[in-house]
Structure 1
């Protein structure tokens, strides 16, 4: 993983938006990112969030990572992709 973030800021975002888990997968997780790669994040919220709230979280995370973020809810993962994602997953906040 070749990504530097402010872990205190990440913790603040997760606490502010009631995120129970945040994990990194995809090109950054396996060290194959390119200049134009986005950051793929798996998220679990403690409570259901509105589209507006999810948008705020997305903006905060894009500002933190300083690039586009693809925010994926664990509840919405296709069953066929779960093993692929779980194999790459790097926990950034919370517990698997």
Structure 2
């Protein structure tokens, strides 16, 4: 699991975009991560954002966390993985 400071970085990076909730899934959520693991972040916003903004957030998170990040909107979940992701997501922020 991520440290409190890492979770705080994620929240503060997404906060200007008014998140409804933010969670982790994948190896980090299952406490199976290793030094090579990426951070899988699932989020839901109160208002839509464009691809440019999403790319900016993605880059900013990787810079601040010093890890590869997969940043996925709940609305953008692929139908083939949606059920699995929603079963294992662990939300750490809800507004």
Q: Same fold (TM over 0.5)?
A: yes
Structural mapping, 1:65-76, within 5 Å: 65-76=65-76
Check 1:5–1:32 CA distance in 2 against 1; reply closer, same or farther (3 A cut). same
- Structure 2's unaligned 5+ residue stretches are none
- Structure 1's unaligned 5+ residue stretches are none
Structural mapping, 1:27-38, within 5 Å: 27-38=27-38
Compute the TM-score of the two structures, normalised by the length of structure 2: 0.81
Q: 1:15 — aligned with what?
A: 15
Query: Cα deviations across residues 43-94 of structure 1 (Å, max 9, x unaligned)?
Result: 1122111222111211222234320100111112133422211221111221
Compute the TM-score of the two structures, normalised by the length of structure 1: 0.80
Aligned residues: 94
Check 1:80–1:8 CA distance in 2 against 1; reply closer, same or farther (3 A cut). closer
Query: Aligned-pair RMSD on alpha carbons?
Result: 1.9
Residue 5 of structure 1: how far off its partner (Å): 4.2
